[in-house]
Structure 1
Amino acid sequence: MTVSIHAPLLPAATAVTHAAAYADGPRLLADVGGTNARFALESAPGQIGFIAVLPCAGYPTLAAALQAYLASPALSAGMCAGRIRHAAIAIANPVTGDLVRMTNHHWEFSIDALRRECGFDTLLVENDFSALARALPYLDAGQKCQIGGGAAREHGAMGLLGAGTGLGVSGLVPCREGWSALRSEGGHVTFSPVNDTEIAILRFAWGQFEHVSAERLLSGVGLELIYRALAHHTGQPDCKLAAPEITRRALGGECALCDQVIDVFCGMLGTVAGNLAITLGAQGGIYIGGGIVPRLGERFAASPFRSRFEQKGRFVAYLAQVPTFVITADYPAFLGVSAILAEKLAS
């Protein structure tokens, strides 16, 4: 499979003019989800380029995807010639030891064996949303979009969640050294409905799953589950639509049922985001990442998300002060894994 290398990415918040190249060569950065694996090289502080997005289904192992990227012609010339010594990977999975088994894909690997197989001196593997959380302080105004009111308090804790193949959750809390990212699996908390429609959706989901987590509904397959549940609840035909088609029809004004799916999805996400804000005391703001919400654009801003975010009884006034942002940067996790790797090498 041919690896297509994208144009360099120079994040405004971290780009350094004429930054000196790393003395020990460029560093490999990766962001591995259940659907796609994204790779890049950082040649100097803040200078990230040679980006490639590879489908996970196209490779039997993460090592195979990594080696395909490293063997691409663009990396075999110029500054990328020679061995890459240091690498950091953000992955959509808990990372609690050397062995990593992905939740939403079949890849599994030993971190140390992968390091040796790819010839790295250093290989760090971090949960993808913990890595993304580390990127939050570096996002500039052009890389995020505020939804609703509120103002972030300086050095306040921040919350992060994002729906895509699954539902990622993390947080960023201030500490003596700067920031500490939480290794959370909050997407697997039990889903809690707040109205009759959501109760009906939950009853429908119980017919298929013993445990209905927030991720079951706030993900790509979750959009499809909500669609089937609403079709059943309202007595409408189930056209067995995939998530991208549900979104396309909703945004195109072609299907009232699909539009309702998006409203319900955004409302549920608002409730989960509000729960996270209260749990963390996230007065630095709540950030929304993942693959689904950024594609909704203005439709998300017009959805019930923000009203449901604040719908917490006696804590309405508290949450009204907490800002919510959609992350619009193309590859924000690279900023986080870069920071994690830099700290490791500095120590």
Structure 2
Amino acid sequence: MTYPHLLADIGGTNARFAVETAPGKLEAILILPCANYATLSDAIKSYLATPLAIEAGASQVRKVGIAIANPVHGDLIQMTNHHWSFSIQSVKNEFNFSTLLVINDFKALAMALPFLDQTQKYQVGAGRAQEGGVIGLLGAGTGLGVSGLIPSKSGWVALDSEGGHTSFAPTNAREIAILQFALQTYKHVSSERLMSGAGLQLIYRALADLHKVTADDIDPPEIMRRGLENECPICSEVLTTFCELLGTMASNLAITLGSKGGIYIGGGIVPRLGSYFNQSHFRQRFEQKGRFANYLEQIPTFVITEPYPAFIGISAMLGQISQE
């Protein structure tokens, strides 16, 4: 393989870039706000012009891998949670790249899972991963990403999934009230509407309405801060609800895929919750599946702590292309 490679992880809020100068060696990692750039090409140009990228050899890059928070089918990409749209071939031609691999960000993240060591993840609750078992993945951030890894004779196969857009299914009176509140605004309430940054705000407004108190105009980080510091009972209830919803979503994924290899939690929200997440009812809700409770008790759940896991996955997929 010819290095350096350009790696990018494009979310609805931030675009993360790195230059891979050798297998697994990442340099010039930078995070650029998507809102600061009119197009993906503008963001790439800005990154390649930075002193860090230049020093890492960015001008020599010909092979590029981009993980993006969006479905990838064909040449044209229109982001779901941001206004960027682009043609893969046009971007490849514009920068004279020899290879431009564009895949769903959670597909890239899924490909990273077999490479994570104990310093890049931690387990929540009991359970033991079955060797060579199917692995499930979900993560809440700007949106709700879902994927999975299926073992095959030629290695792991990562799933293209938009499971975050499945319909939200409440399991108790509080969640039914939240759904009823959300339906006043949205014809379809997906899981992502609630298990995401914007979802924290929606849950906050719904619970304020339920308890007949005035909701403040606060953003997700402030909701999390107030909840974690017990400054606001509603914000604390938001975090409780969020962790429980994620537990149910994770268990749905586990029984859908038969994820005996474990369920991994990525995205930007859960790592920011820290020890609160471990002490929440996430795992309790994960195992709360009636006749399938014993089935789920045996499946481990992990939180990904590696700050740039998508880079690991996109690097592995670029490697596969080079070997074909």
TM-score by length of 2: 0.98
1:62 is aligned to 2:40: yes
**What is the aligned residue count?**
324
List runs of 5+ in structure 2 lacking aligned partners.
none
What letter corresponds to residue 62 of structure 1 in structure 2?
L
Q: Which residue pairs with 2:62 in the alignment?
A: 85
Q: Secondary structure at the match of 1:49?
A: strand
Q: Which residue pairs with 2:76 in the alignment?
A: 99
In the aligned structure 2, how far is the partner of 1:321 from the partner of 1:304? Answer: 17
Provide the alpha-carbon RMSD of the alignment.
0.9
Q: Which residue pairs with 2:119 in the alignment?
A: 142
In the aligned structure 2, how far is the partner of 1:313 from the partner of 1:213? Answer: 24
Q: Which residue pairs with 1:181 in the alignment?
A: 158
Residue of 269, 274, 287 corresponding to 1:292: 269
Contact 1:228 1:240 in 2 (8 A): no
Instruction: Detail structure 1 runs of 4+ shifted over 2 Å in the superposition.
Output: 74-77
Q: Which residue pairs with 1:333 in the alignment?
A: 310
1:76 Cα shift?
Answer: 2.5
In the aligned structure 2, how far is the partner of 1:61 from the partner of 1:48? Answer: 24
Contact 2:19 2:58 in 1 (8 A): no
Q: Secondary structure at the match of 2:7?
A: strand
Q: Which residue pairs with 1:127 in the alignment?
A: 104
CA displacement 1:45-104 (0-9 Å, x = unmatched): 111111010000000000110111111122324x51642110000000000100000000
Q: Which residue pairs with 1:239 in the alignment?
A: 216
Q: Secondary structure at the match of 1:125?
A: strand
Residue of 47, 53, 56 corresponding to 1:75: 53
Q: Which residue pairs with 1:12 in the alignment?
A: none
Q: Which residue pairs with 2:23 in the alignment?
A: 45
Once the two structures are superposed, the pairs formed by residues 1-347 of structure 1 within 5 Å of their partners are 24-77=2-55, 80=57, 82-347=59-324
1:334 Cα shift?
Answer: 0.3
CA displacement 1:164-184 (0-9 Å, x = unmatched): 100000000101111000000
1:239 Cα shift?
Answer: 1.0
Contact 1:171 1:182 in 2 (8 A): yes
Contact 1:160 1:286 in 2 (8 A): yes
1:322 Cα shift?
Answer: 0.3
Q: Secondary structure at the match of 2:119?
A: helix
Q: Which has the higher contact order (CA 8 A, sep 6+)?
A: 2
Identity of aligned residues (%): 60
Q: Which residue pairs with 1:5 in the alignment?
A: none
TM-score by length of 1: 0.92
In the aligned structure 2, how far is the partner of 1:190 from the partner of 1:306? Answer: 22
List runs of 5+ in structure 1 lacking aligned partners.
1-21
Contact 2:6 2:58 in 1 (8 A): no
In the aligned structure 1, how far is the partner of 2:225 from the partner of 2:293? Answer: 33
* CA separation of 1:176 and 1:252: change in aligned 2, threshold 3 A: same
In the aligned structure 1, how far is the partner of 2:218 from the partner of 2:31? Answer: 26
Contact 2:48 2:58 in 1 (8 A): no
In the aligned structure 2, how far is the partner of 1:76 from the partner of 1:298? Answer: 39
